[in-house]
Chain A
Amino acid sequence: MSDFIGNWHALIVLLVAGVIPNQIWRMLGLWLGGGLDEGSDLLMWVKAVATAILAGVIAQIIVQPPGALASVPWFLRYGALAAGFAAFMVTRRSIFAGVVCGELVMLAGKWWLG
């Protein structure tokens, strides 16, 4: 059971560094919404930065992989992302095709390398 709960410190960190900094924007939207122009420059910039941060997260997982993904050599990780993207484009933007192709390239490469 204690494995399930983990330590209390980590749960408090989740609240302070995760839940509150995330929820504050939803509640601000609820509180201040209405008076805001959806097409305003400020919101456009915010959306652009948020998308770029998300892209950074994707790059981070590939460049500095966590856990078991670190056992995959860098060229296979980059290759899987590139192959998945190619499949995504060829299939007229099918998320499913991109994910499956990326996974297959990584698994095949790993199997081939032994």
Chain B
Amino acid sequence: MTLPPLDSQQWQGSLRAFGWGLRATSATILSAVLFVTFIGIGALAHDSGFSMLWAILSTVLVWAGPAQIILVSTLGSGVTIVQAAIAVTMSAIRLFPMVVAVLPLIRTPETKRRDLVLVAHFTAVTLWVECYRFLPHVPREGRIAFVHGLGSGLVLIGLVATIIGYLLAANLSQTFGAAVLLLTPLAFLFSTARNSKGIADVLSLGLGLVLYPVAALLDSGVDILVSGVAAGTIAFGVHKWRERQELA
């Protein structure tokens, strides 16, 4: 899909910009990855004993794959609500720098903060990546509407996939149920690996995978936090150390 030129009549009015944003969801492989991930999330919610409404609301209101999976798997394994909330909030900290990075691409000097609430809500890794790709080709006045369209489209894809995954897990044989559940770790691993650029990214992914089984031996209820903070801190330390080596 090619967007119309910046000065085209086709950008007149926010409804048109919204439409272009909605259509942009069809122009990215990330939509397919999103679809696959949320099929896994729907299946996971079903197999952990949550209702269909619960799964739907978690996709619409949380709108962050990792947080949803952590929530389902921690609550499903019987930890307390507080432990689940801590694990979710730790995984969600990454949304903070994403929102901070996305907003300057979108706002104009006249933009009010409340106009950006929905943009902040839609912000997750997929939207973040797509904003960098598409927004330079969208006139600035139309960007909020464009992102609203793009975000609504992505949520709709996630929502349909959640429902399909939930129904599949309820009705499929055990083998295919297992195949649907396996989609989530595969899709997450490869999409994260694809976005890894520096040494810090690669190390935090690799160490995070390896350290979790070790941390799980502690059986602390917050094993994911323990391995995540340890692996992330080591990766950050190595990155700083290498930076200093290069300067010296």
Contacts and interface: CB of A to CB of B under 8 A. Distances in A.
Nearest to A89: B193
Given A17-B88, A46-B94, A99-B186, A66 B208 contact: no
A84 B190 contact: yes
Contacts of A13: 75, 81, 84
B52 A4 contact: yes
Contact of B178 (A31, A33, A69): A69
Contact of B193 (A46, A66, A93): A93
Contacts of B100: 29, 32-34, 36, 38
A61 B40 CA distance: 11
Interface string B160-186: 000000000100001101111111111
Interface string A12-32: 011111111111111111111
B189 A33 contact: no
B144 interface: no
Interface in A67-114: 67-69, 71-72, 77, 80-81, 84-85, 88, 93, 95-96, 98-99, 102-103, 106-107, 110-111
A22 B64 contact: yes
Contact of B90 (A28, A38, A49): A49
Interface stretch (B3-11, B19-27, B133-141, B221-229): B221-229
| Dominant secondary structure of chain A at its interface with chain B | helix
Given A55-B209, A95-B190, A99-B187, A14 B216 contact: no
Contacts of A31: 113
Interface of A: 3-7, 10-11, 13-34, 36, 38, 41, 43-69, 71-72, 77, 80-81, 84-85, 88, 93, 95-96, 98-99, 102-103, 106-107, 110-111
Interface of B: 29, 32-33, 36, 43-44, 46-48, 50-54, 57-58, 61-62, 64, 66-73, 75-77, 81-82, 84-101, 103-104, 113, 116-117, 120-121, 123, 169, 174-175, 177-194, 196, 200-201, 203-213, 215-216, 223-225, 227-233, 235-236, 239-240
Given A17-B88, A22-B88, 19 more contacts: A6-B50, A21-B88, A29-B103, A33-B99, A48-B236, A51-B204, A52-B208, A53-B70, A53-B228, A56-B227, A57-B69, A58-B189, A59-B209, A59-B227, A61-B181, A61-B185, A67-B47, A81-B189, A99-B186
22 contacts: A13-B84, A22-B89, A23-B61, A29-B97, A33-B100, A34-B100, A36-B100, A44-B236, A49-B93, A51-B196, A52-B207, A53-B87, A55-B208, A59-B212, A63-B216, A69-B182, A71-B175, A85-B189, A95-B191, A95-B194, A98-B186, A106-B182
